[in-house]
Chains A and B, each alone.
Chain A
Amino acid sequence: DSGVTQTPKHLITATGQRVTLRCSPRSGDLSVYWYQQSLDQGLQFLIQYYNGEERAKGNILERFSAQQFPDLHSELNLSSLELGDSALYFCASSVAGGGWVGTDTQYFGPGTRLTVL
């Protein structure tokens, strides 16, 4: 158990809908990262927040957005869902803001499996 929690574990929804995925980082970690893992694309970095502010952006679609709240939990909002958005969404956290550029160890949550029908 990494100490990172994600809810819900599974989510099934229809095309065109909007969903919110939630992540609570490990106690003391200030950075939260979101990743998408789909069958045909492998693991892709979406976005990072550090202490409430966006720190880095990866391959995140405009239909997706995220935020990190004062209590450091984060939400990933996915809207106008398409079939291709079906994937496993991981959240990870790290102590500082170094992330990929530095040597911060990232601790991954168990993931949320999103199925869009």
Chain B
Amino acid sequence: ILNVEQSPQSLHVQEGDSTNFTCSFPSSNFYALHWYRWETAKSPEALFVMTLNGDEKKKGRISATLNTKEGYSYLYIKGSQPEDSATYLCASTGSGGYQKVTFGTGTKLQVIP
């Protein structure tokens, strides 16, 4: 993988359902992986930053895992609520530093009440 890819592009789930999406990134020269939550007409809000293989982070009903060897991260939302509706962005940094920061195009989540 040369770029940061996120899947699916968009997702509709019912309120109460749990869901997850994927961020794939170049595993060579990996340094850090960031997740952001971006609501429409607002600015991105940092969720997690992860650096270590096997790392797991949790914030309320949202959690994320990281596999640096195979180059992917999962974001999980348990019991989705309408207020979780947003675009979830990931960004990867290679060990080349700042100039290798690459954002994915995001997964747009719509939670239906």
Q: Which of A's residues lie within 8 Å of B, judged by CB?
A: 2, 42-45, 48, 55-58, 90, 92, 99-111
Q: Which of B's residues lie within 8 Å of A, judged by CB?
A: 31-32, 34, 42-46, 49, 51, 89, 91, 93, 97-99, 101, 103-106
A113 to B58, CA, bound (A): 33
What are the residues of chain B within 8 A of A110 when measuring CB–CB? 42-43
A105 to B47, CA, bound (A): 9
A106 to B47, CA, bound (A): 10
A100 to B30, CA, bound (A): 12
A107 to B97, CA, bound (A): 20
Known A100-B93, A107-B46: A44·B103 in contact at CB below 8 Å: yes
CB A77 to nearest CB in B, in angstroms, measures 20
Least CB separation from B51: chain A residue: A103
Contacts beyond the supplied A100-B97, A110-B43: 5 A-B pairs with Cβ under 8 Å: A43-B91, A45-B103, A100-B101, A101-B93, A105-B49
